[in-house]
Amino acid sequence: MSAAEAAAGSFAAARAAFEQVIEFARQAAVDEITHGQLERELAARMREVTRVLFQDHLDLREVREERVSAPVADAEGISRNRIERHRRTGLDTVFGPVAVHRIAYRGDYVHDLHLLDASLNLPEVKASHGLARMAVLEAVRGSFAAATEHLREACGVKIGSRQVQDLVVHAACDIEAFYAAASPVPAGPDTLLVLTFDGKGIVMRPDALREATAKAAAKKGQNTYRTRLAAGEKNGRKRMAEIAAVYDADPAVRTGADILPEPGENEPESAPGPVAFNKWLTGSVEHPAAATVKAAFNQATARDPHHTRCWIVLVDGAAHQIELVKAEAKRRRTPVTIIVDFIHVIEYLWKAAWCLYKNGEPEAEAFVAAYGREILAGRALAAAAQLGRAAHEAGLEPGQRTGIDDAIGYLTGKAPYLAYDKALSNGWPIATGVIEGACRHLIKDRLDITGARWGLDGAEAVLRLRALRSSGDFDAYWAYHEARDYQRNHLARYKNQILPTTADP
């Protein structure tokens, strides 16, 4: 049969399948079913019609495929000197399983080459790119098991949780290259460039823990309880993930009174703070925190390569994060202003307040607000000294003033990063709400679900894909990922990465 004759008689199976759906819908018995039953029935039947249509098209592609005129040589220059037609491979699609038949170019002691595979950009695995995309979106939202159930119900394909996890891991492999090639949205020189970091633990399987954590867990011994965790066991099961966000914000000038108003009636309406836009997220549980800090600086540099904008770094006060930021900024010779989250300062003030007041006493809140206003005015060291005097005047013993001593140590140690008066007058943000919200979304809502214990590859892939999706880049990335698959799965197999051209029919 010629290609023209095949085309003329093609898609007969799809037409017959569609006629069967019409015949079903016109039956009088269908009048007795509810709209929900009809909806489900038609969805399943029309999915089968689409699967048959897909198969018919692939069958036509097989008939139209001609042997190429040029020699077919692999990347090492080894030619294939014979062919075998009708070589089959399976493909699971979003409509169900189909078969692809094509010409195999063969040689002795070498793998076969299939030019139609390249034309179709077939994946290395059985799942199509569309099915993989659906699996990834479902798996980064919920569990791998829930993703498999969804795929079986929606697509009629049999796929296991391990296969879904493998698809997710592969799907994340091009994220770093994608962002390296991307062009960030430009912003004016007056727009703030904000980098912010935080860490969050993820419960891991024993073989995925960092060496120090695994050793610490081993020292605690085996849990002898059957119905609960042993003391400290949860901490010994976690591996820290570092999360970073980079965003743009227009300056919004405020005063300390906008954050903590003075007591009294008829308080003025507070001025709003800077609003984040063009937000970009990343994170890693596999690589050290320094790698995530470097990735955030790479993104910031792409947005502002000549360092004409004001760079603000917001952290929660963790010493290792501050040191990593300072080291990366020094390495790049990039001036940054580091600001410690004001909410963390308030938490320390509350700890100090409970050394002087009982729980529920209204004076405690007034105490925290008064010291908070002092710190917002740029007088953190003065506030620390005042706390020390308050503890002395109250006659607190060493064991009774732990919260005050912790607050004094925090204010003293972080004083270089507590210049809130300057930050507010310049319109800079002073809170890490963006990154804390990101940690809840990226990790708490998926990687910290009840009962989850992660391997390193799976946790890393899910984390990075959730960050990618939260940044609004998933669709653009997926097109890039498919193009990269075409390069590595097909073009890379041929001499000079060029596919031979087909002969004229």
Domain ranges within the chain, ordered by starting residue? 1-64, 197-442
In a 3-state reduction of DSSP, which class is residue 201?
strand
CA atoms of 11 and 214, how far apart (whole Å): 60
Bridge partners (DSSP) of residue 197 are 244
Query: For the segment 62-77, what is each residue's pLDDT rounded down to a tens digit?
Result: 999 999 988 899 999 9
Q: What average pLDDT does this structure show over 165-177?
A: 97
Closest CA to 489 of 110, 168, 117: 117
Q: How far is CA 116 from CA 24, 61, 100, 120, in A?
A: 37, 8, 9, 6
pLDDT digits (tens, 9 = 90+) for 264-312: 655 667 789 999 999 999 999 999 999 999 999 999 999 999 999 999 9
The two structure tokens encoding residue 274: 């800077």
Residue 468 has pLDDT above 70, yes or no: yes
Q: How far is residue 20's CA from residue 431's CA, in Å, rounded to a whole number?
A: 62
Res. 96 pLDDT band, cuts 50 70 90: very high
Give yes or no for a contact between 101 and 60, defined as CB atoms under 8 angstroms apart: no
CA separation for the pair 441, 283 (Å, rounded): 12
CB 295 within 8 A of CB 283: no
Per-residue pLDDT tens digits for 400-446: 999 999 999 999 999 999 999 999 999 999 999 999 999 999 999 99
pLDDT tens-digit series, residues 181-214? 998 888 999 999 999 999 999 999 998 887 766 6
The tokens describing 31, both together, are 């009048």
C-beta neighbour count of 164 within 10 angstroms? 25
| Secondary structure (DSSP) of 54-89 | HHHHHHHHHHH---BSS-EEBTT-PEE-EEEEEEEE
pLDDT for 426 equals: 97
In percent, the amount of the chain with pLDDT more than 90 equals 83
| Token duo for residue 464 | 């990075």
pTM of the model: 0.89
What's the mean per-residue pLDDT of the chain? Answer: 91
Q: What residues have CB less than 8 Å from 226, skipping those under 6 apart?
A: none
Give residue 77's pLDDT: 95
Which distant-in-sequence residues (6+ apart) come within 8 Å of 27 by Cβ?
none
Question: Residues of 277-295 as b/e, b for ≥16 C-beta within 10 angstroms?
Answer: ebbbbbbbbeeebeebbbb
CB 190 within 8 A of CB 251: yes
pLDDT at 502: 60
Which segment, 233-237, 380-384, 451-455, is predicted with the most confidence on average?
380-384
Query: 141 Cβ partners below 8 Å, 6+ apart?
Result: 446
Proportion of the chain in helix, strand, coil states, percent, rounded to 5: 55, 15, 30
Distance CA 169, CA 445 (A): 19
Angle at 305 between CA 300 and CA 310, to 5 degrees: 60
Q: Name which of 403, 337, 401, 339 is nearest 375 in CA terms.
A: 339
